[in-house]
Amino acid sequence: MGPAPSVTRLTAPEIAAHLGVPLLRGRQILAWVARGARGFEEMTDLPAALREALPAKLRLLSSEISEIRESPDSTRKLLVRLEDGELVECVLIPAETRLTLCISSQVGCPARCAFCASGMLGFTRSLLAHEIFEEFLHAAHVAGGAGEITNLVLMGMGEPLLNYDEVVAAVRRLPLGKRRITLSTVGLPDRIRRLAREGLPLNLAVSLHAPDDETRNRLVPVNRKYGIDEVVAAARDYFRETGRDVTFEYILIEGENAGPEHARRLAGLLRGGNLNVNLIPMNPVEGLPFRPPTPENVEAFRRRLEAAGIPVHVRTPRGREIDAACGQLRLRRMKTSRPPPSGGQQPVAEGPPRA
């Protein structure tokens, strides 16, 4: 006989049927889990006899925290072990008035961006909606309650739009204002436009990382399928449809995409419309040949974009001491435990299939 089902995997009617109780009880149990209850004993509006019986029939969560690391800047990275033993990461990033949670949508990543640790061990599988939701719950427990998390970004391991249905289902469950949620994608135009029609007022971040197809094909291989102009056009369509913020993420890599000519081309590509740029000096990844530019070169790149009228923000790397960048802690752990996936789990080279 297998383990008891987790509350997060069930609907309120399924919980009620499993326990043989009224539907109201299923709804109450789900509500308590969404608020961050750590145990059934906290569910004080349930009858005492039911609370005592629940641990033998249900689990709160299907996953568990495997490791927590905290850096001197108070960034905390959680390594979460899923029910099948796979590992994913989420990160709590504090600021003066915010606590942002970054979560994953897949185990590994099929996009295989050249500078990212997430895809270095290949792609294993997509997360289910309840597993994505549990990342939020684990982080909420660490943070001291669901109400402590003010913002959420789908910028962890994986490409969210390649796990579209499960990601959207998880987002709808999150007890967080949808305008405080940002979804990051390498840029899948059909799915960006589909997301714009969901009625979810999410902010969109596009991992651009290059100002032209030649550079982007090298750094972000899925670009070979769509092309940078189509990616930017889809992002502009998203803004027109939703009115929500659209940001282009641009990781600065010395000798690859951080020179004066790159800044000039990027300004020409993005000029006009409500498009913002986040410049991110690269977080070095063991095993990759890339390095960040100097602070002086980052500032020069920023000034060139601003002179062209492009809104720019330079994002300070956080948590380098704890492998906080996408996939780094999992990569370090997995290198010592098992080889990379093979066979049917090869990374995508030419880009994902169309939606």
Domain architecture of the chain: domains with CATH: 7-56 (1.10.150), 64-345 (3.20.20.70)
What is the rounded CA–CA span in Å between residue 255 and residue 293? 8
Confidence of residue 1 (pLDDT cuts 50, 70, 90): low
Instruction: Output b/e per residue, 185-208; b: 16+ Cβ within 10 A.
Output: bbbbbebbbebbeeebebbbbbbb
DSSP 46: S
Does residue 136 surpass a pLDDT of 80? yes
Strand partners, 106: 126
What is the percent of the chain with per-residue pLDDT over 70, rounded to a whole number? 89
Summarised one tens digit per residue, pLDDT across range 178-217 is 999 999 999 999 999 999 999 999 999 999 999 999 999 9
113 is catalytic: no
State how far the Cα of 329 lies from the Cα of 50, in Å rounded to an integer: 40
Q: Which two tokens stand for residue 278?
A: 């986040």
- The DSSP string of 276-318 is EEEEEE----TT----PPPHHHHHHHHHHHHHTT--EEEPPP-
- Predicted local confidence at residue 320, as pLDDT: 56
Q: Is 86 a catalytic residue?
A: no
pLDDT tens digits, one per residue of 279-310? 999 988 888 889 999 999 999 999 999 999 99
Burial of 314-343, coded b for 16+ CB within 10 Å and e otherwise, reads eeeebbeebbbbbbbbbbebbeeeeebbee
d(CA 315, CA 281): 8
Contact (Cβ atoms closer than 8 angstroms) between residue 186 and residue 232 = no
Q: What confidence category does residue 316 fall into, taking pLDDT thresholds of 50, 70 and 90? A: confident
Kindly list the distances between the CA atom of residue 274 and the CA atoms of 49, 182, 236, 247, 271, in Å, as whole numbers in the listed order: 56, 16, 8, 9, 9
**pLDDT averaged over every residue in the chain:** 89
Chain centroid to Cα 66, Å, comes to 19
Burial grade of 61 (CB within 10 A; 0-12, 13-18, 19 or more): buried
pTM, entire model: 0.87
Phi, psi of 211 (to 5 degrees): -100, 0
Q: What is the pLDDT of residue 2?
A: 72
Residue 354 has a pLDDT of: 29
User: Looking at residues 5-22, what average pLDDT do you find?
Assistant: 97
**Residue type present at position 182:** T
pLDDT of residue 340: 41
Smallest CA-to-CA distance from 192 within 225, 162, 227, 222 is with 162
* pLDDT bracket for residue 318 (50, 70, 90): low
The residue behind tokens 């027109």 is: 240
Helical segments of the chain, H only: 12-19, 23-34, 48-53, 129-143, 164-173, 189-196, 213-219, 223-226, 228-242, 260-270, 295-307, 328-335
Tens of pLDDT along 48-74? 999 999 999 999 999 999 999 999 989
Report how far residue 93's alpha carbon sits from residue 111's, in angstroms, rounded to the nearest whole number: 24
Q: Of 90, 102, 113, 326, which is the active-site residue?
A: 326
Task: Give the distance from CA 113 to its chain's centroid.
Answer: 15
| Residue 201 near residue 223, CB atoms below 8 Å | no
Catalytically annotated residue among 52, 67, 89, 134: 89
